[in-house]
Amino acid sequence: MTKETKVRLISALIVAPFVVACFISYQSLIGLVSAIVLLASSELLFATLKKYRKNGILVVYIALLSAFPLLFGIWFLEQPMELLSVLYIIGIVFTLFVVKNKEIVMEFFGVYSISFIYISMNLSFFIPLYKFYGAAIALLTLTLSWAYDSFAYFFGLSFGKHKLSKVYSPNKSYEGLLGGIFGTFVYTLIYFVIVNNFSSYSIPLWYSIAFAIITGVMDTAGDIFESAIKRAYGLKNIGRFMPGHGGMLDRIDGLLFVAPVIYIFLKLFS
């Protein structure tokens, strides 16, 4: 085991139990989502806009982005679009007052918009997942990405020959994708069997196939999207929150695409 692998393992063993513990209640989950949005959006915003030395506007952006999951989960569960629109408009209007350079204002608009949809809104899907489908499904959605990443890494390292995205993520392979989907299917099937037998849940076992495919495709897409951002800025990692893992955004990139699609699937078929 290399030194880097050991650092990654230790970091995961420290952070993962805390994250899982936050799924013990609806309120702690809301706090967790808001905290992760704060960290991940801070990384993206500062990586993009720190060169302009307008830290005040970045603080306002981060506050609005972090406020969305808090307000959504506590008061606006039935009015997410209204809340999203109001907070978004506040940020845009504030930008118009603070950024007076028309040559750079679109960059502020752009990264704020991406952060709102990509990070704050997408991660906030964990809130209705928990509220309407229970802690077991919400926790599964979290660990789906962990399982897929682990299996995809193993199969890609062992058998990967055909590159999936040479431009943005040259280390990913079709073998890793298929192996990751298979491993995630096995993991999800075992999870459902245990949950069905030891709780009041009655989850159709065929969901394990759908969940595995959704996770494989969406986790990979999310990872490649974040890799494209990093390559555009010439960065290896967006941040340094977790030693050996990079920043918070590096850890949740796939999850940001997985959680919304899992929720939409459940809305359609549950």
Local confidence pLDDT in tens for the 270 residues of the chain: 555 556 566 666 777 888 999 999 999 999 999 999 999 999 999 999 989 999 999 999 999 999 999 999 999 999 999 999 999 999 999 999 999 999 999 999 999 999 999 999 999 999 999 999 999 999 999 999 999 999 998 998 888 788 888 888 888 899 999 999 999 999 999 999 999 999 989 999 999 999 999 999 999 999 999 999 988 888 777 766 655 556 899 899 999 999 999 999 999 998
Nearest in space to 15 (alpha carbons), one of 242, 264, 256: 242
Give the pLDDT score at 11. Answer: 63
Distance CA 75, CA 62 (A): 20
Give the pLDDT score at 231. Answer: 86
Distance CA 43, CA 36 (A): 11
H or E element, residue 170? strand 169-173
Distance CA 220, CA 196 (A): 29
**Torsional class of 234: left (φ above 0), alpha (ψ -120 to 50), beta (otherwise):** left
Answer whether 224's CB lies under 8 Å from 165's CB: yes
264 is in which domain, residue-wise?
3-269
Answer whether 83's CB lies under 8 Å from 68's CB: yes
Distance CA 142, CA 207 (A): 16
Three-state secondary structure call for residue 171:
strand
Give the pLDDT score at 6. Answer: 60
Give the pLDDT score at 15. Answer: 76
Answer whether 203's CB lies under 8 Å from 179's CB: no
Residues with Cβ within 8 Å of residue 78, at least 6 apart in sequence: none
CA angle 58, 244, 25 (to 5 degrees): 65
Token readout for 253 is: 């990139």
Distance CA 172, CA 264 (A): 27
Task: Report how many domains make up the chain.
Answer: 1
Give the pLDDT score at 242. Answer: 58
CA angle 168, 173, 47 (to 5 degrees): 30
Answer whether 127's CB lies under 8 Å from 159's CB: no
Give the pLDDT score at 3. Answer: 57
